[in-house]
Amino acid sequence: MHAGGKFGDGGYKVSGGLHGVGVSVVNALSQLLKAEVFRDGKSYSQEFIRGASQATVKETGPSTENGTRITFTPDHQIFPVIAFNRKTILDHARQQSYLTKGIIIRIIDRRSSEDLSIEENNLPTDFTFHFQGGIGAYVGHLVRNRHQLLPAPIYMAKQIEDSLIEVALTYVDDFNEHVFAFANNIHTTEGGTHLTGFRSAITRTITDYAKKSNGKDDSVLSGEDIREGLTAVVSVKLPEPEFEGQTKSKLGSPAMRGAVEAVVNQGLGQFLEENPSVARTIIEKVSLSARARLAAKAAREAVVRKGALEGMTLPGKLADCSEKDPSKSELYLVEGDSAGGSAKSGRDRRFQAILPLRGKILNVEKARLDRMLTNEEIRSLIVAIGIGIGEDKNIAKIRYHNIVIMTDADVDGAHIRTLLLTFFYRHFREIIESGYLYIATPPLFGIQYKKEFRYAHTEAERDQIVKEMTDKPSAHPPTIQRYKGLGEMNSEQLWETTLNPEHRVLQQVTIIDAEAADGIFADLMGEDVLPRKRFIQSKAASVRNLDV
């Protein structure tokens, strides 16, 4: 404990560390760790093997350098598989470069290309990050493939005692909020006091300006309206941060709320006064959002009223389960009536519900809530899930703790799955964060050899099964069937391969990197065609299965 530079003599002012155990943990998990220090014209080193020091610090000669070098090799006895992903490292280094204006970070990968994935081999092996624009440049990076409403991001910064508050923001022409908060360069995925202060300040400042510029009360504006299309980075650097939990996903330092609020109130207010044309663009954007929100509210209430008048609380095509405990209940979202029929016949009616979806649902990345609620398939899905929509959502009312997307193993099925993932990410992110969303992985192949029949989920598994089946010579080779649609399976096959909890393979949907997830949904499902074209071109070499 307390081995980090923040303890003792004040090695640095701000730190993300809480307990000073970072390098101690790396050392304990390393086969070899070597620390080298260069200072005062000399170099020093100390080596450790599996956490144990091999000797005291020794002087190793003269040096003109200044700094520290840490070299470590992960311990194979602890980690069966050791794989450093170049993209993950590059993404993290890029983020840190934006957050520390002017710093230079260089990444060099000397591994053999034979040990790397196709994606990694398409990335540079020697990369340098350096951003003089700091988080202003970061916001520009986040909106690089989107239609920007402002000529450049708005940047504000202020030193308050020992703390530095930086905020950069802009608006894009979409319906979602994209705000990323950091404390001492740590991405606080659950926000905290700094994010609360930012949201409070931007709502008050823009509402006050709208009221003043229009000469009337614009109290109809809500925080939700003002954050629609907002892209922002909030970065605070403070001594002795208080995080909620060791994962540091939420900042709890009370003083940061007022500090960020003060900086945004003053900085944004001054900017709006000095840039009336940009301010007018922002007011037009948030006013349009307010009108759309009121229209969506009316549409939502109409949907609820219509359901009540028709005497139905659940969609008619939903084949519900008899189990009423959400933690024991499953909802399968199935592509098409044919697969829906097989799934309804093959399921366990006690705890498995089936909702067939006809065709491709609306792309919600391009639609506001009011238009979304006019789509029959989406309305059925919302009602079946049970937690409401928009500002009325309540995750405690969810009807199923396992929601499984089950689509065909072809291009159309992948597209429908992507549309559903976009729907959940943009409007039901709580479901993903609670671990309730899954993707079914039905087998791709059925292999028949004499009286034996087996399934394979991948080509490699198919080849292995064929090899095992044909160990003994036979005049008749195995018959291999490639499944493209769930409807090709009868109800017994569907139960055996995809519905039966003892044999099925489910992939849980998680959000590991919110920034990357946000970007990929905007690129693939947004209005602009160019980002999609670039994505397809960059991934073309790695395509393995392509339906034609």
C-alpha R_g of the chain: 28
Residue ranges of alpha helices (H) inside 392-449 are: 411-427, 429-433
Element (H, E) at 154: strand 154-160
Contact 184, 191 (CB under 8 A): no
Beta bridge partners of 192: 251
Active-site residue identified among 410, 433, 515, 528? 410
Instruction: Examine the residue annotation and report whether 410 is marked as an active-site residue of this protein.
Output: yes
| Amino acid present at 161 | E
Element (H, E) at 132: none
The closest of 338, 306, 333 to 423, measured between CA atoms, is 333
Gap between the terminal Cα atoms of the chain: 59
Compute how many other C-beta atoms are within 10 angstroms of the C-beta atom of residue 542. Answer: 11
The closest of 404, 362, 431, 393 to 504, measured between CA atoms, is 404
Cα distance between residue 107 and residue 192, in whole Å? 31
Per-residue buried b or exposed e for 325-355, using 16+ beta carbons within 10 Å of the residue's own CB? ebeebbbbbbbbeebbbbbbebbeeebbbbb
Element (H, E) at 225: helix 223-227
Compute how many other C-beta atoms are within 10 angstroms of the C-beta atom of residue 295. Answer: 15
Who's near 295: CB < 8 A, 6+ residues apart?
368, 370
Who's near 395: CB < 8 A, 6+ residues apart?
387, 430, 431, 434
Instruction: Examine the residue annotation and report whether 408 is marked as an active-site residue of this protein.
Output: yes
Instruction: Examine the residue annotation and report whether 523 is marked as an active-site residue of this protein.
Output: no
SS (H, E, C) 56-71: CCEEEEECCCCEEEEE
Active-site residue identified among 208, 412, 433, 513? 412
Locate 402 and state its tokens.
């396992």
Active-site residue identified among 408, 488, 518, 523? 408
**Residue 79 φ/ψ, nearest 5 degrees:** -110, 105
Element (H, E) at 331: strand 330-335
Compute how many other C-beta atoms are within 10 angstroms of the C-beta atom of residue 392. Answer: 11
Instruction: Examine the residue annotation and report whether 492 is marked as an active-site residue of this protein.
Output: no
Locate 221 and state its tokens.
């504006």
Q: What is the DSSP letter of 456?
A: E
Sign of CA dihedral 481, 487, 489, 494: positive
Which residues form the catalytic set? 335, 408, 410, 412
